[in-house]
Amino acid sequence: MIKIDRLFFRFSLCFLLGFTAFNVAAESGYSPVQIARNIPSIEFEKPQIFQVHREKKATGSKMTIHNNGDQDLVITSFKCEAFGRTELHNTRFVNGERVMYEIKNITVPAHRKTVISPNRTHFMMFDPERDLEIGEYLKMELESNLGPILVIAEIVPRRLK
């Protein structure tokens, strides 16, 4: 009887902890694949923001944006909670060194996808207003030709290659 009680206790505890973690993510609006509420043809796959390094005042993001619509998506700017300033960026390699520069927009052609990554086109966030913890969720609001788009991104460990 004791073995059954322990097994039941362990199962119950795992269920409650798992349910709590699921609820935290669900309450934030995070999902590995998000469909823009006001533009159902736009999907965001695994939206993530890299944790800010203690000595740095900036970080980037990664995700894949799918445009299943008949019109190009043109992102012209964005805001991200917990950061004082944001920019759209691109990266190129010069003599083996990564060089980032600001760009005016990011275009996702109709019926295509665009990978957002620090080694390519990406969202840059500057001047964090507080320490951000891994597993935390932040709201990003993208301004585009199709209207504003809300994305919920997860803070993940910084692992750049």
The predicted pLDDT at position 102 comes to: 96
CATH numbers and ranges of domains, the chain:
42-156 (2.60.40.1890)
Q: What is the pLDDT of residues 102-115, one digit of tens each?
A: 999 999 999 999 99
Phi/psi zone of residue 7: left (φ > 0), alpha (ψ -120 to 50 degrees), beta?
Answer: alpha
Report whether 110 contacts 72 (CB < 8 A): yes
The proportion of the chain whose per-residue pLDDT surpasses 90, expressed as a percent, equals 67
Per-residue pLDDT tens digits for 36-80: 887 889 999 999 999 998 778 999 999 999 999 999 999 999 999
| Closest-CA residue to 100 (of 121, 75, 86) | 121
pLDDT of residue 160: 54
Report percent pLDDT > 70 for the chain.
Answer: 80
pLDDT at 54 (0 to 100):
76
Residue 83 has pLDDT above 70, yes or no: yes
Distances (CA, A) of 55 to 73, 131, 146, 161: 35, 12, 37, 19
Using a cut of 0.85, tell me whether the model's pTM lies above it.
no
pLDDT at 158: 82
What does the pLDDT read at residue 28?
A: 53
